[in-house]
Chains A and B, each alone.
Chain A
Amino acid sequence: SQQGEEDPQALSIQEGENATMNCSYKTSINNLQWYRQNSGRGLVHLILIRSNEREKHSGRLRVTLDTSKKSSSLLITASRAADTASYFCATMNSGYSTLTFGKGTMLLVSP
């Protein structure tokens, strides 16, 4: 069964706007990670947030984690056309051995 469910499934914005994607999961986790994938290409690791962290920043990325609600959000500020991609959340299991991916959000940033 799917661990992470993402919302929205697709998001279309203009350059300069902020994009927010949400992810929910079902079981306890050690950490949650966000990945980016350009049109059927490889997965690029963006950011990792541990279960004992609530917020993390990396450049234009801001991730929050609410373990009580089993949810996370990824905010991309001042979006660029080059941010157009699919974004996946993935949860790391308690054994630090497997990643379970969510369905992904397709982000389209128009110039």
Chain B
Amino acid sequence: AAGVIQSPRHLIKEKRETATLKCYPIPRHDTVYWYQQGPGQDPQFLISFYEKMQSDKGSIPDRFSAQQFSDYHSELNMSSLELGDSALYFCASSQRQGKRADTQYFGPGTRLTVL
């Protein structure tokens, strides 16, 4: 079965640079979520999109932005990178049936290292 695809899998950037992470949800899934997991930490919800509109916002820094495109893939744009942005970034997708979206399916993550 198709899973959530994230690219790139690994990314190394310098401080103050920008980075773009991509997420391709499972086919027919209409909702995408982004999570950030720092070293030794639990995943923290950043932002989500439903039918290309922002759905919920968590602890996403103002330096970050995201969007969902017409083909339902999503991109997380990160600017003015800081050392503390080094983390594993997960994308998850789900299919909302009405308002219910019980299970989120996670991608393998993108490991971002900021030097």
Contact = CB atoms under 8 A, between A and B. Distances in A.
A101 B42 contact: yes
Interface in A20-35: 30-31, 33, 35
B70 interface: no
Interface residues of B, number: 27
Contacts of A35: 106
Given A96-B99, A96-B100, A41 B108 contact: yes
B99 A98 contact: no
Given A43-B92, A43-B106, A103-B42, 17 more contacts: A2-B42, A35-B106, A41-B108, A42-B90, A45-B104, A45-B106, A48-B103, A88-B43, A95-B99, A96-B99, A97-B101, A98-B56, A99-B43, A99-B45, A99-B92, A101-B35, A101-B44
Interface of A: 2, 4, 30-31, 33, 35, 40-45, 48, 88, 90, 92, 95-104
The 6 A-B residue pairs with the shortest CB-CB distance in the complex, in nearest-first order: A101-B42, A43-B106, A42-B108, A97-B56, A101-B43, A98-B45
